[in-house]
Amino acid sequence: MTDYANPDVLVSTDWVAAHLNDPNVRLVESNEDVLLYSTGHIPGAIHIDWQSDLNDPTVRDYISAEKFASLMSRHGITPDTTVVFYGDKNNWWATYAFWVFQLFGHTNAKVMNGGRMKWVEEKRDLTTETPTYTASNYSTPTRDDSKIRAYREDVLQHIAAKKPLVDVRSPGEYKGELLHMPSYPQEGAIRGGHIPGAKNVPWARAANADGTFKSVEELKAIYEDEIGLKPGDDVVAYCRIGERSSHTWFVLSYLLGYPQVRNYDGSWTEWGNAVRLPIEK
């Protein structure tokens, strides 16, 4: 992992095992399958549900800075706590939670390479016990969406400037044949297709079979050799609701070190339903 642009953002399963009782570390499990945590998780890990914990219940947006501070305080997390994310599906939702934490400035955060699958396959300890921690006093942060989040208007400007867009969905979604991944309910958008000018690189191509991230050389071959990205590019990634694209955002930003990468979390459920927005197939 030392070849990555920011190797410290990743930790191994060995590192996590050695820090299970470290009071300055808080493990966070975040999954697509929200019931998976209750079947067994890494000892001491808390569960953060992407929908009920991180999303506002009435506005399609993330929780307020005040609610984020309350969430952190409830789990005994301080700004100095090292938060380590992991989850199912190649850390798909773990990187999404990581991305949301960055909106609130909690930069003391890492991802366990290989995620839940690697931990389980190594036959490491799991527990069904839900931990409790003494509440902390987490000051209300300032949420800053400007650097790592793109809105619809930003994407329109991006298209006009002919800057690179990465569509991380499945090829069928990109071509307009599907509205969601294969084997999922085909819902969420009226129209199929992709944002004009976007190149397609399915998010999971960045991961190995064991859930770990591919090497720098392999990642560069995918994103630079295949679709022509350059490290100085201003890049916007998107998917259907912004969760798969957060994985690609993580790869480009932290593993390859691209300085200007934003996640368009409105993604296809916004773009494919919006009036007067152009699409390609």
Enclosing H/E stretch for 71: helix 65-74
Question: In this structure, are residues 142 and 65 in contact, taking their beta carbons and an 8 Å threshold?
Answer: yes
| Partners of 167 in beta bridges | 200, 238
Catalytic residue among 179, 229, 237, 239: 239
**DSSP state for residue 210 in the 8-state scheme:** T
Nearest to 16 by CA among 126, 133, 131: 126
Nearest to 18 by CA among 94, 74, 82, 91: 82
Reading the block at residue 151, the tokens are 């809105």
Q: What share of the chain is helix, strand, coil (3-state, %, to 5)?
A: 30, 15, 55
Specify whether 239 is catalytic: yes
Nearest to 49 by CA among 265, 243, 268: 243
Catalytic residues: 239
